[in-house]
Amino acid sequence: MSDFTEQTKSINLELACKECGALLKFQPGTNHLTCEYCGTKNEIAQPQSTVAEVRENSLEDFLAREVENDEKIEVVTVKCDGCHGINTFDPKTVSDKCAFCGSPLVLKTASTSNMHRPEYVLPFGIDLQKAIQGFKRWISGLWFAPSDLAKYADTPRSMNGVYIPYWTFDCATETRYTGQRGEDYQVTENYTTTENGQTVTKQRQVTKTRWYAASGNVRNNFDDLLIEASGSLDKKILRSLEPWDLNNLVEYNDKYLSGFRTETFAVDLRTAYQGAKSRMEPEIEATIRRAIGGDRQMIHAVSTTYRNPTFKHILLPVWVSAYRYNNKVYQFIINARTGEVQGQRPYSTAKIVLAILGGIGLLALLYFLLGQS
């Protein structure tokens, strides 16, 4: 981000056709904006950089200087009273619905704010029709769902294409650890039990563990570790949409955003970096356990050094909507690159109870048959 300037620019949510002046929208899966009126294809200038040239920014250098020097873009936002999601929209809009839950927006409460200018964007690859088809497949394949769910959820509330802000982090780590390695062995022990009213002594094999001290250093490398900067969507659902094809990132261009919403960043860089460290911990622990070896491992102390952390500021595309069932709204999100669908869903208590009773009945039948044999 060293080449950023202090100026603030307005984001172009709507763009005009070069031939007839009509408003344009980006067509998912293409590199142009096709005019709905005259058919002219308005090409988007392709970025000069390739995946090998995607720039990483030094985290330490960025945090050491004034963040205000970062280039920003101006957006108009309004907070939904229903789900509290932050929506962006064109200033000329007079009425709209929340992109995250479908509730009507009170546009009188709209405000203008600045957000950090993203460096890269992953353009929409799946259009609205494919997104709807993916949702219907997902809803029909849910286990223990109410039988009439597909009927009620057949037409979800208006589905919106939204660019979600993310931070990505690269980092090399070196971790010093102390712990213990456990090696299992078998011993034979006597025990007593009752058979036919008589107390008898039998033998059985028991697993025991010998423990040995262990210590050392392990190294890990993390590349494009994603941290959500969204304040409107469930992080667990967003993470279930991974992985993303980040090798197809392109330089930020307002034209890719035309016709879509863009959520503002709700998580700052420092907070995101702490979140990235938390996401690194399970992999670091797994590396330590592999290094300790043996059949079991205990980790007593860990000290990690983070070397040369870098970051990027990107936008990723999703289709977002909600459906109503039994007067409750359930939100779902679709990865607009792969078509992966994840979201909230209701469960059928009756189906779950029947499944449990069926399982108990099956176990009872097996026990009876084994007893007979």
What would the mean pLDDT of 51-65 be, rounded to a whole number? 77
Reference 66, options 146, 6, 140, 23; nearest CA is 6
The whole-number pLDDT of residue 7 equals 38
The whole-number pLDDT of residue 49 equals 46
The whole-number pLDDT of residue 51 equals 45
% of the chain exceeding 70 in pLDDT: 71
% of the chain exceeding 90 in pLDDT: 36
The whole-number pLDDT of residue 317 equals 95
Separation of alpha carbons 147 and 140, rounded Å: 10
Q: How confident is the model at residue 95 (pLDDT cuts 50, 70, 90)?
A: low
Q: Is the pLDDT of residue 24 over 60?
A: yes
Range ranked top by mean pLDDT from 85-99, 131-145, 262-276, 341-355 = 262-276
The whole-number pLDDT of residue 3 equals 37
Q: How confident is the model at residue 91 (pLDDT cuts 50, 70, 90)?
A: low
The whole-number pLDDT of residue 8 equals 40
Range ranked top by mean pLDDT from 47-56, 144-153, 189-198, 340-349 = 189-198
Bridge partner list, 112: 76
Q: 290-317 pLDDT, tens per residue?
A: 999 999 999 999 999 999 999 999 999 9
What would the mean pLDDT of 111-137 be, rounded to a whole number? 84
What would the mean pLDDT of 26-45 be, rounded to a whole number? 70
Average pLDDT, whole number, for the chain?
80
The whole-number pLDDT of residue 4 equals 33
What would the mean pLDDT of 63-80 be, rounded to a whole number? 67
Q: Are strands 120-121 and 296-325 parallel, antiparallel or unpaired?
A: parallel
The whole-number pLDDT of residue 54 equals 80
Q: 242-252 pLDDT, tens per residue?
A: 999 999 999 98
What would the mean pLDDT of 120-127 be, rounded to a whole number? 92
Q: Is the pLDDT of residue 69 over 60?
A: no
Q: Is the pLDDT of residue 357 over 80?
A: no
Q: 127-158 pLDDT, tens per residue?
A: 888 888 888 888 777 777 666 666 655 555 57
Q: Is the pLDDT of residue 52 over 50?
A: no
